[in-house]
Structure 1
Amino acid sequence: MHWFYLTAAVSAEVIGTTLMKFLVSADQLALGTLAALTMIALAYLFLGKATLRIPVALANAFWEGLGMILIALVSLQLLGEAMSLLQGVGIGVAIVGIAVLNYGHYQQEHAE
C-alpha cells in the first residue's frame, strides 16, 4: 500500500503542475495557483503516508525524479514545449540516481 501512496503523491504533483500551467495560460492565475497548492498539499499528504514504510531518501528521490520525468513528458506532449539534449541527459541521470538509491535500499534490507 505504501507504493500506492507514493504513486498517488507523484500523480498529484504532476496533475497540480499541469493544471497550473493550463489555467495560468488561460489567464486564470488565482485558480491555477489554487489548483497547484491543493494538489501539492495532497501530494505531501500521500508522501507522508508512503514514508511510514519507505525510507525518506528513497521516497523523495522517487517522488521528485518520477515527477520531473512525467512533467517533462507532459510538457512535451500536451504543452508543446521543447527539450534540449542536455535536459534529456539530465533526466537520464535522474533515472540512474533513482535506480541506484533503490538498489542501495534493496541491498540494505537484505543485509539486515
Structure 2
Amino acid sequence: MSISRMLLARMFLTGAILTEVAGTSSMTLIADNGAGWLNYLPMWALIALSYLMLAKAAKTISIGIAFALWEGLGIALITLVSVLFLEYRISTQELIGLALAIVGIVMVTLGESHDEPTSAPAPRQIGEAPCTR
C-alpha cells in the first residue's frame, strides 16, 4: 500500500502540532527542584521534534499553510489542555479570539490549491540583450 505525499505531509503536520502541544504544555509540569536544566530536556526534545516534523510537512504543504495550521491549532489545543487539565479559566475575549483564529485557519486552508507548479521560463540565450524599454 502506497501512501500519497499529501497524506504523509498531513501526518507529519499532525505530529508536529501534537508534539508542540505536548512540549509547550509540559512547561507547567517542570519541577522546580535542584535538577536545573535537566528538567527542561523533555520539553526541548518535544519542541525540536515538532520543528523537524513541520519541516518535513513543509516539503509538500505550502509553508504558509503549514505554519498557520501548526501555530493556530497549536494555540487552540494548548488552551484546551490548559482549561481541561491545568484549571485555567478562559475569558470571553480569549474565547472570541480563539474562535476567530480557527475561522481564519479554516478559510486559509480551504483556499489552498494543490495545482502542479508551473514550469520555469526558458533561460535566455547568451549574448541576447534584455529589453530595456
**TM-score of the two chains, using structure 2 as the length reference:** 0.74
Whichever of the two has the greater Rg, that structure is 2
Give 1:5-44 correspondences, 5 Å limit. Answer: 5-23=12-30, 26-28=31-33, 30-44=37-51
Choose which of 60, 64, 74 in structure 1 pairs with 2:71.
Answer: 64
Once the two structures are aligned, what percentage of the paired residues are identical?
Answer: 39
Count of equivalent residues: 108
Which of 60-69 and 32-41 deviates more?
32-41
Give me the CA root mean square deviation. Answer: 1.9
Classify 1:14/1:48 alpha carbon distance in 2 versus 1 (closer, same or farther; 3 Å): same
In structure 2, how many angstroms separate the alpha carbons of the residues matched to 1:83 and 1:109?
A: 40
Q: Which digits, 9 at most, give the CA deviation of each residue in 1:35-80, with x for residues without a partner?
A: 2211111000000000011000000000001100100000001100
**TM-score of the two chains, using structure 1 as the length reference:** 0.87
Classify 1:14/1:32 alpha carbon distance in 2 versus 1 (closer, same or farther; 3 Å): farther
Gaps of 5+ in 1: none
Gaps of 5+ in 2: 1-7, 119-133
